[in-house]
Amino acid sequence: MNGAESLVKTLLANGVDTVFANPGTSEMHFVAALDSHPEMHCILCLFEGGTSGGADSYFRMKRDVAGTLLHLAPGFGNAFSNLHNARKAGSGLVNIVGDHATHHLAYESPLKGDIQGISQSVSHWTRVSPDAASVAHDGAEAIRAARAQNGQIATLVLPADTAWTPLPDGAPATCRPAPALHRPSDAQIEAAAQRLTQPGAALMIGGAALYGPAREMAGRIAARTGARLLCDTLIPRLGRGAGQPQITPLPYAVPPKIEALAQTSSITLAGANRPVTFFAYPGSPSLPEPANCPVWELCRPEMDIDATLADLAAATGATGTEPRRIALDLPALPTGNVTLEKAGTAIAALLPENAILCNESISSGFHVMPPTAAARPHDMLGGTGGAIGWSLPGSVGAATACPDRKVVVLTGDGSAMYTSQSLWTMAREGLDITVVVFANKGYQILRDELLNVGVQSYGANAQAMFDVENPELDWVALARGHGVPGTRAADMDRFTKAFAAGVQGEGPSLIELVCP
Amino acid sequence: MNGAESLVKTLLANGVDTVFANPGTSEMHFVAALDSHPEMHCILCLFEGGTSGGADSYFRMKRDVAGTLLHLAPGFGNAFSNLHNARKAGSGLVNIVGDHATHHLAYESPLKGDIQGISQSVSHWTRVSPDAASVAHDGAEAIRAARAQNGQIATLVLPADTAWTPLPDGAPATCRPAPALHRPSDAQIEAAAQRLTQPGAALMIGGAALYGPAREMAGRIAARTGARLLCDTLIPRLGRGAGQPQITPLPYAVPPKIEALAQTSSITLAGANRPVTFFAYPGSPSLPEPANCPVWELCRPEMDIDATLADLAAATGATGTEPRRIALDLPALPTGNVTLEKAGTAIAALLPENAILCNESISSGFHVMPPTAAARPHDMLGGTGGAIGWSLPGSVGAATACPDRKVVVLTGDGSAMYTSQSLWTMAREGLDITVVVFANKGYQILRDELLNVGVQSYGANAQAMFDVENPELDWVALARGHGVPGTRAADMDRFTKAFAAGVQGEGPSLIELVCP
């Protein structure tokens, strides 16, 4: 028994049985400890962005934490971007970061770096275990922190000597219950209930209210009060499709976002941050609501959303009200040449019930996504932090959390290039994931945004930085290189056939849709 | 004229004409400014690890700084690992990181993050430009910081409004000269000169002393005094092959590292940190030198290495001494089945004069590299910070800095998977790079290290985390996917033919060597 094994036992004893791992040499004793506990599910990612993206979406689907295993500060750096997305998603996860043995940190060895510095720039909770006897307790505290406040980033740094030092006992530590969540006062609930009945009132929900029972409750409140039900542009997880209570996601671009809120008299937040534009632009506001529209923080994202909505439903008399629901609208399969709208139609027609849709289609999504809103019921995961390269890792996490559900990834080619290593993990784990890459051969969102800042035409340097051409990427070859079967579709018949095969079959596959 | 354009003009006016870029929306005005200055060489990387790895090796070869262009905190995160390597290499570079407009940072928008926090955990110098009028001056200061102390990481954060706000003037700022480098006192030089003539003395050099005129000077001092010339295991750039003054790189593993220093009476450091083991192990020392062997810091890596060696040569009377040199030893081309030793022999026989060898072969390198020590003269770049995934980006930087030199990458398959996106940049830029991937289908160094910590055999979880099999990676397909022609070699005839074609041809190519 040593510190590493006491940590593995603590993880397992407290329900953390999945680790997205990219180990290095300083984690050898932890690897040995994992090896002696085959009940721990270790998922190898060939790049650390796969570990953090995997644990993020695992939490979004399971509402419980997984671990990541990272190698010193550079390993944490590679995980950072998807940790940022996880933080913005409100996901809880436990990073376990190996470090040099404590006595070795006196010297300028190659891998010595500022792990605490980088960790604290994205984690809610960071601790360096001081000795082997503390590791189990620190691990339990990390799990508690990751589960607190509806989900937090917890990082436990494990110097090698705290892992390898023998322990006389080494029993697992028990994770204390997470601290109770705050909830609004009765007076705040009552005021919100009154407000929501006013003309033009909106209820904006987030977090766990975007799907499942809390979403139902929000739908009842909206139907009873007449308030509009809103959610943010980029959401961690949204229940969509037939039967879901109707909701209006705010648009990405600034003018339609302002337009969407133009007639709004008040916005009451339940589990959501206030709406804000994605970026600022010269002469354009950061806040999209009308000047005379108050924004009320009824329930912050880290507060008790379920209880808040239950109280609000009672206060509005909505407990028995039937929500307005989305009606099923399955379009006919499109044929002929490729358009993004047709691709969306095909996906909407074929998406199986209970699928998990990881949507990183960015600019293509403006055209692809609308038809899917009335498809069969499904969950959609979105890019919460705006850092691209989350959807391939995220689909690994979602498929690991929900092995019985079909996972579909919709991604731009630019985004997919950041973390394409996750294709290999899909194949290794035999995950049931269908990946659609919208190959528009560039960063279309940047082409659009350059026009947004007033540049009318662009030259060689902008072209060099926006176009991913000369050479073109070959996604079928990239998929095969990672061990995933791939298909290129340049017309709609080919696409619908490949997509149908993907969602009706088993295991991972990739479709490159050649975009016009 | 606006802040962004004043920064581009400042970069160009001060000799920074190359930017490894991965832009996002908040950098649109900077992109527009780059676009109006086609004399700026903008190299698109499809992942930010390519930008920092590129700028690192660009500095190692050119001794001058390039820029990176990064997108907020997540973009910096993706660049972090190779910034860590650059820091350990003593490379100077300027990160330009776009951020939200200053007034937008009041709100919890998706991409808002702690850029200063993550930057300060690896940069020597970080500044957030406060307004458009300051941008040119701040840019000049960033360049100065990057050039100071023989090379530093400088990070300039550019909020979008500081980029887009119009300026009446916007003339470029002039970079002040870098602060003078410290040098040892005459007494310290004299003491070192005396010490080096003692039996068992060693002179350990680093930084710019590892190649070129300073290496010659170190070779003269060693020949004159009888001191052994040492360098560290992981070096930023080392002159190697025929004609180079002899030098002994310290081994990676602890027992041979201790053995290599066993008879050493003193170590005098000139541009190097003191030797230290790569990792700590239970019961094993961090410091490899004998207990009675003093280590003298004559010249820290950030001090004036050239002047120190010139003074030391004068003090030892070595100015006219001829160094002991490596003799050319070109082996015969091997045939038959693949071994790593034979691969090294083939590379040694075929490596062209003046090549740049980016060596990330890790465990394979223990067998591959020895024969190349007496090959035709070349420079070798190494993995200074121990963070893998640097050599493909590094080769892009080296080939950009030295377009007339052949660049060869030797990399393990595990390492190459971290930043394989650089293959695309090689093809886009038409860079003359031959990549050899040693496909041993796993993290061989971890397999070795698990034995080092006393585990005799390993089970399913360790195997799952060490082996990159089920499925195997197909490097020929991965290369083709990125637009690079690839070959698989499963015997030595095929390998020597492919390697000869690579180094004798032009442009990028990849060889997957199927390792036994």
One-letter amino acid of B288 = P
How close is the nearest chain A Cα to the Cα of B480, in Å? 6
Cross-chain residue pair B446–A478, CB shorter than 8 Å: no
CB distance B24 to A446 below 8 Å: yes
Same domain for B410 and B290:
no
User: Are A270 and A147 in the same domain?
Assistant: no
SS3 content of chain A, % helix, strand, coil (to 5): 45, 20, 40
Q: Which residues of A touch B103 (CB under 8 A)?
A: 280, 286
Q: Which residues, 6+ apart, have CB-to-CB distance to A25 below 8 Å?
A: A71, B278, B279, B445, B446, B449
Question: Within this chain, do residues B223 and B297 fall inside the same structural domain, yes or no?
Answer: yes
Which of B131, B164, B197 corresponds to the end of one domain? B164
The chain A residue lying nearest B467, using CA atoms, is: A44
Chain A residues within an 8 Å CB radius of B472: 483
- Nearest by CB to B121, which of A26, A121, A483? A121
> Which residues in A lie closer than 8 A to residue B450 (C-beta atoms)?
28, 31-32
**Chain B residues lying within 8 Å of A83, measured CB to CB:** 77
Say yes or no to pLDDT of A316 above 80. Answer: yes
End of a domain among A316, A331, A363?
Answer: A316
Contact assignment for A122 to B113 by CB distance below 8 Å = yes
Give domain status of residue A169, yes or no.
no
pLDDT band, very low/low/confident/very high, at A13 (cuts 50, 70, 90): very high
Taking the CA of residue A374 and the nearest CA in chain B, the distance in Å comes to: 27
- Let me know if residue B324 belongs to a domain: no
pLDDT at B109: 95
The predicted structure's pLDDT at residue A453? 74
* Predicted pLDDT at A37: 95
Do both A160 and A190 map to the same domain? no
* Best of A2, A28, A99, A233 to mutate (most B CBs within 10 Å, chain B): A28
Residues B138 and B237 in one domain: no
> What is the average per-residue pLDDT within A60-83?
98
CB contact (8 A) between residue B46 and residue A417: yes
Among the partner-chain residues B110, B460, B471, the one whose CB lies closest to the CB of A386 is: B110
B299 token code pair: 């010249």
Contacts of A123 in chain B (CB under 8 A): none
Instruction: Round to whole Å and give the CA distance between A18 and A41.
Output: 5
From the list B34, B417, B472, the residue facing A421 with the nearest CB is B417
- Grade residue A456 by pLDDT with cuts at 50, 70 and 90: confident
The one-character DSSP state at A304 is -
Same domain, A382 and A490: yes
What whole-number distance in Å separates Cα of residue B52 and Cα of residue B422?
Answer: 11
CATH of the domain at B290: 3.40.50.1220
Q: Are residues B21 and B51 in the same domain?
A: yes
Chain B closest-CA separation from residue A433 CA (Å): 16
Which chain A residues contact residue B427 at CB under 8 A?
A: 470-471
Rounded Cα–Cα distance for residues B58 and A11 (Å): 44
A276 and A195 co-located in one domain: yes
Chain B nearest-CA residue for A72: B387
pLDDT computed for residue B492 by the predictor: 98
State which residue of chain B sits closest to A301, comparing Cα positions.
Answer: B108
Partners of residue A72 in chain B, C-beta under 8 Å: 386-387
From edge to edge, which strands make up the β-sheet containing B67-71? B41-44, B18-21, B67-71, B93-99, B153-159, B125-128
Confidence grade of residue A72 (pLDDT, cut at 50, 70, 90): very high
CB-CB neighbors (< 8 A) of A295 in chain B: none
Instruction: Test B78 with A80 for CB contact under 8 angstroms.
Output: yes
Question: Is there a domain that residue A362 lies in?
Answer: yes
Q: Do A366 and A494 belong together in one domain?
A: yes
What would the 3-class secondary structure string for B447-501 be? HHHHHHCCCCCCCHHHHHHHECCCCCCCHHHHHHHCCCCEEEECEHHHHHHHHHH
A107 neighbourhood in chain B, CB within 8 Å: 274, 276, 286-287
Across the interface, of B23, B117, B474, the residue whose CB is closest to A120 is B117
CA pair distance B372, B353, nearest whole angstrom: 12
Contact A38 B453 (CB under 8 A): no
Question: How many structural domains does chain B have?
Answer: 3
How far is the alpha carbon of A138 from chain B, nearest alpha carbon, in Å? 22
Which of the residues A279, A431, A472, A510 would you substitute to probe the B interface, choosing the one with the greatest number of B C-beta atoms within 10 Å?
A: A279
Question: In what order do the strands lie in the sheet containing A41-44?
Answer: A41-44, A18-21, A67-71, A93-99, A153-159, A125-128
Digit-coded pLDDT (tens) for A165-201: 999 987 999 999 999 999 999 999 999 999 999 999 9
For position A450, what pLDDT does the model report?
82
| The predicted structure's pLDDT at residue B450 | 82
pLDDT (0 to 100) of residue B516: 87
Name which of B496, B77, B455 is nearest A388 in CA terms: B77
Residues of chain A neighbouring B85 (CB-CB closer than 8 A): 74
Cross-chain Cβ contact B161/A280 below 8 Å: yes
Judging contacts by C-beta atoms under 8 Å, the chain A residues touching residue B81 are 74-75, 77-78
Determine, yes or no, domain membership for B112. yes
Residue B295 lies in a domain: yes
pLDDT at residue number B82: 98
Query: Which residue in the set A46, A276, A478 is minimally distant from B417, CB to CB?
Result: A46
Q: In terms of residue numbers, what domain contains B414?
A: 340-514
Distance from CA of B67 to the nearest CA of A (A): 14
- Whether residue A348 sits in one domain with residue A494: yes
C-alpha A369/C-alpha B332 separation (Å) is 61
Among chain B residues, CA nearest to A485: B471
Q: Which chain A residues are Cβ-neighbours of B4 within 8 angstroms?
A: none
Q: What's the average model confidence in pLDDT over A407-416?
A: 97
Instruction: Note whether residue B452 is domain-resident.
Output: yes
Nearest to B110 among A31, A234, A459 (CB): A234
**Cβ distance of B75 and A85 shorter than 8 Å:** no
Asked if A478 lies within 8 A of B481 by C-beta distance, the reply is yes
Cβ atoms B261, B233 nearer than 8 A: no
Sequence-distant (6+) residues with CB within 8 A of B505 are none
DSSP-derived 3-state class of residue B355 = strand
When CB atoms are compared, the residue of B160, B234, B471 closest to A110 is B234
CATH number, domain of B58, equals 3.40.50.970
- Mutation to test the A interface, candidates B109, B161, B297, most A Cβ within 10 Å: B109
User: Searching chain A, which residue's CA lies closest to the CA of residue B482?
Assistant: A473
Looking at the fold, whether A388 and A510 belong to one and the same domain comes out as yes
Whether A443 is in a domain gets the answer yes
- Residue B470 forms part of a structural domain: yes
Look at B118 and A384 and tell me if their CB atoms are within 8 Å: no
Q: Which residue of B has its CA nearest to A279?
A: B100
Backbone angles phi, psi at A499, to 5 degrees: -70, -40
Contact B161 A386 (CB under 8 A): no
Which residues of chain B are within 8 Å of residue A445 when distances are taken between CB atoms?
25
pLDDT at A448: 83
Locate B426 and state its tokens.
Answer: 């090689």
State whether B73 and A80 contact (CB < 8 Å): yes
pLDDT of residue A392: 98
Residue B471, preceding peptide bond in cis (omega within 30° of 0): yes
Segments of chain B with pLDDT less than 50: none
* Residue A178 distance to chain B (closest CA, Å): 25
Smallest Cβ–Cβ distance between B46 and the set A32, A40, A468 belongs to A468
Say how many CB pairs under 8 Å bridge A and B. 347
Mutation for testing the A interface, residue in B28, B267, B278 having most A CBs under 10 Å: B28
Average pLDDT over residues A363-370: 95
pLDDT at B501: 98
Residue B139 burial (CB < 10 Å; 0-12/13-18/19+)? buried
| pLDDT tens per residue, range A376-411 | 999 999 999 999 999 999 999 999 999 999 999 999
- Specify whether A275 is located in the same domain as A407: no
> What is the DSSP-derived secondary structure letter of residue B184?
-
Residues of B in contact with A103 (CB under 8 A): 280, 286
> What is the distance in angstroms between the Cα of A146 and the nearest Cα belonging to chain B?
19
DSSP state of B330: -
